Amino acid sequence: MKIKVPPQTPVEGEVLTPDNLAGRSINEILNLETFRGNRRVKLSELFTVEGESASNPSDLHLILEGDLRKVRHIGARMSAGKITINGPVGTFVGFEMSGGTIVVNGDADAFVGMGMSGGVIEVNGNAGDAVGSGYWGTRCGMRGGLIVVKGNVGAEVGLWMKGGTIRVGGNADVFTGVRMQGGTIFVAGNVGAKLGAAMVDGKIVVLGTVPNILPSFYIDEIRSNTKVDGDKIQGPFYVFYGDITEGGNGKLFISVEKNQHLKYREAYLL
């Protein structure tokens, strides 16, 4: 499906999932309604559609093309199948998804994978704030599945995360892994301040630099390597545990080589 004209007002993309489109003919799909701003519009008004649908969601591959920066909630609650987005995409990609795969060949906005419980999201670009977080007030972020961002992510990646894995190819901003309750975050690049704040469980691995470690994390040991989802990652790593103020059992694996300014913490090794 190719977007005809990038919309000026936000388009509701919830309808764009294999679950919703499976078992419908192209004509039926064109007649499905969604919102552009407060107007009800048919998909035919927004998109041109080619190809064929499938009867089973797991067999359906939806390819979206164009500037989709103002299309929100694409892939919401999807349970199977694949969506490939060729272009920049709007907020809440993969909102509360439980299965299937979403690939974004471009930049994603904020709230990628909010409330996710399963499936895979791959962003071959940058992503915005709060990747893998949860709806406000739920105190529960991503529970399962895999999110991979090749580029950078914004602040608060993995906020309230309970399970699953987030891999970041580039850098992450402040509060990476804040309020984490489980799962794994892997950052190949640098992270911002307040890493792992208020974490109670889970694991964060950082190959790049971290400006400081909160006073509520104690150094545990120096490890030569670690594993992320079975993949061996070469260290050596400073291993910190915390957040002490939450009675936490979370672990931070910080590259020794890139973080010599943390060397003074070695004095506190038992």
Partner 1 sequence: MKVINAVLCPGCGSLCDDNEVYVEDNKIVKVKTECAISASKFLNYNKERNTKPLVRVDGQLKPTTLEDAVERVARMLVEAEYPLLYGWSLTSCEAQKKGVELAEEVGGVIDNTTTVCHGPSILGVQDFGDPTCTLGEVKARADLVIYWGCDPSSAHPRHMKRYSSLIKGKFRTPEQRKVVVVDVRKTPTARNANLFIQVKPNQDYELITALKMLLQNEEIEEQEVAGVPVEQIEELAELMRSCEFGMLFFGLGLTMSEGKDRNIDAAITLVCELNKWTKFAIMPMRGHYNVTGANQVLTWQTGYPYAVDFSRGYPRFEPGDTTAVDVLSRGYNDATLVVASDPVANLPKDAVKHLCSKPLAVIDPHMSLTAFMADVVIPSTFVGIEEEGTAYRMDGVALLMKKIVDPPEGILSDAQILDLILKRVRELKKGR
Partner 2 sequence: MEYLLKNGYVVDPVNKIDCERMDIAVKDGKIVESVDESKAKVIDVKNMLVMPGGVDLHSHIAGSKVNVGRLFRPEDHYKDYEVKSGVRRSGVGHSVPSVFTTGYRYAILGYTTVFEPATPPLKTLHTHDELNDIPIIDKACFPLFGNNWFVMESIRDDKLEECAAYVAWLMRTIKGYAIKVVDPGGVEAWKWGITSQDFDQEIPRFGITPRELVRGLVKVNKMLGLPHPVHLHCNQLGIPGNYKTTLKTMDAVKDLAAGDRPILHITHVQFNAYGGVDYLSLSSHADDIADYVNKNPHVTIDIGQVIFGDTTTMTADGPFEYKLFNLLRGKWANSDVEVETGAGVVPITYSRSNYVHAVMWCIGLELALLIKDPWRVFITTDHPNGGPFTEYPRVFSWLMSKKARERVLKRIPRLARVRTNLKDIDREYTFYELAISTRAATAKILGLNNKGHLGVGADADIAVYNINPKEVNPSTDYKLVRQAFSRAYLTMKDGEIIVKDGEIVAAPVGRTYWVNTRAPKDVEDVVIPEVKKRFKEYYTVEFENYCVPESYLAWSAPIQPLEPSGE
Binding mask 12-51 for partner 1 (x = CB under 8 A): x----------------------xxxxx------------
| Residue position matching structure tokens 């999201």 | 121
Measured between alpha carbons, how far is 31 from 25 in angstroms, rounded to an integer?
10
For position 136 contacting partner 2 by CB under 8 A, the verdict is yes
Q: How far is the CB of 134 from partner 2 (least distance, A)?
A: 9
Q: Which of 93, 198, 199, 252 binds partner 1 (CB under 8 A)?
A: 198
Closest to 73 measured CA to CA, from 130, 11, 14: 14
C-beta of 2 vs 36, nearer to partner 1: 36
CB under 8 A: which stretch of 43-51, 103-111, 144-152, 254-262 binds partner 1? 103-111
| Separation in Å, CA 229 to CA 48, 142, 184, 209 | 40, 16, 8, 22
Structure tokens at 9: 């007002």
For position 137 contacting partner 1 by CB under 8 A, the verdict is yes
C-beta of 27 vs 264, nearer to partner 1: 264
Q: Which does 241 bind (CB under 5 to 8 A by kind): partner 1, partner 2, none?
A: none
For position 268 contacting partner 2 by CB under 8 A, the verdict is no
3-class secondary-structure state, position 117: coil
For position 265 contacting partner 1 by CB under 8 A, the verdict is yes
C-beta of 54 vs 140, nearer to partner 2: 140
For position 245 contacting partner 2 by CB under 8 A, the verdict is no
Measured between alpha carbons, how far is 39 from 17 in angstroms, rounded to an integer?
21
| Separation in Å, CA 83 to CA 57, 72, 113, 256 | 11, 14, 14, 39
For residues 101, 103, 109, 115, the Cα torsion angle rounded to the nearest 10 degrees is: 10
CB under 8 A: which stretch of 20-28, 143-151, 191-199, 223-231 binds partner 1? 191-199
Measured between alpha carbons, how far is 163 from 209 in angstroms, rounded to an integer?
25
Structure tokens at 33: 């309604």
What per-residue string of b and e applies to 44-59 under the rule 16 or more CB within 10 Å gives b? bebbebeeebbeebee
For position 138 contacting partner 2 by CB under 8 A, the verdict is yes
153: amino acid identity, one letter: V
Report whether 189 contacts 172 (CB < 8 A): yes
C-beta of 135 vs 218, nearer to partner 2: 135
For position 230 contacting partner 2 by CB under 8 A, the verdict is no
Q: How far is the CB of 27 from partner 1 (least distance, A)?
A: 25
Q: Which residues are at the interface with partner 1 (CB under 8 A)?
A: 8-10, 12, 35-39, 69-70, 72, 91-92, 109-111, 129-130, 136-137, 139, 156, 174-175, 178-179, 193-194, 197-198, 212, 214-216, 218-219, 243-245, 265, 268
Q: Which residues are at the interface with partner 2 (CB under 8 A)?
A: 135-139
